[in-house]
Amino acid sequence: MGRRFDPIVMIASLFRTGYIPFAPGTFGTLVSALFVFLLKPEKDLLLFISGVVFFSGIFISGEAERRLNERDSRHIVIDEFGGYLVSIYGHSLSLPNLFVAFFLFRFFDIIKPFPIKLIERRLRGGFAIMLDDVIAGLMANLCLHLITLLFKTN
């Protein structure tokens, strides 16, 4: 049985989304955005799903990293899924917010400002894989709050 049918790698790659040859992290984030757009989970459910993805993602991404024999493999995109959930948590799930959260999350995930870069350099395994994207999600979430306050129409 090859990697193709490995259930851990399948979940870590979001059912092979992580194998898209260009920008797999962006496509992993897109899967998360579509999930939120279609499901429109209430705040408590979104928090629960985020927690499940984060804690299961620690094991899944760490094990997938080991099985792929590649540190923080680009094929592992469950972290982008979880990070995006954090970026939209507590906000209205309107289409503009979903788009802005998407772009903010990708921005922070790609440029890796402090402390994301530090975490990536110093920590290893599933915890590091998941944590840096959660922090990118928190940064995106805060920026979305600021944008919402600045452009409040009421």
CA dihedral (65, 70, 75, 76) positive or negative: positive
Dihedral sign of CA atoms 130, 25, 88, 36 in order: negative
Spatial contact of 9 and 68, defined as CB atoms under 8 Å apart: yes
Whether 154 is covered by a domain: the verdict is: no
Residue 74 is given by DSSP the state T
- pLDDT digits 0-9 by tens, 89-125: 999 999 999 999 999 999 999 999 998 888 888 888 9
For every one of its 154 residues, what pLDDT tens digit does the chain have, with 9 covering 90 and above? 444 589 999 999 999 999 999 999 999 999 999 999 999 999 999 999 999 999 999 999 999 999 999 988 999 999 999 999 999 999 999 999 999 999 999 999 999 999 888 888 888 899 999 999 999 999 999 999 999 999 875 4
Identify whether 89 is part of a domain: yes
CA distance linking residue 138 with residue 84, whole number of Å: 9
**Domain coverage including residue 68:** 3-149
Q: What's the predicted TM-score (pTM) here? A: 0.92
Cα maximum dimension of the chain: 58
- Domain presence at residue 63: yes
Q: Count how many domains the chain has.
A: 1
Please check whether residue 109 lies inside any domain of the structure: yes
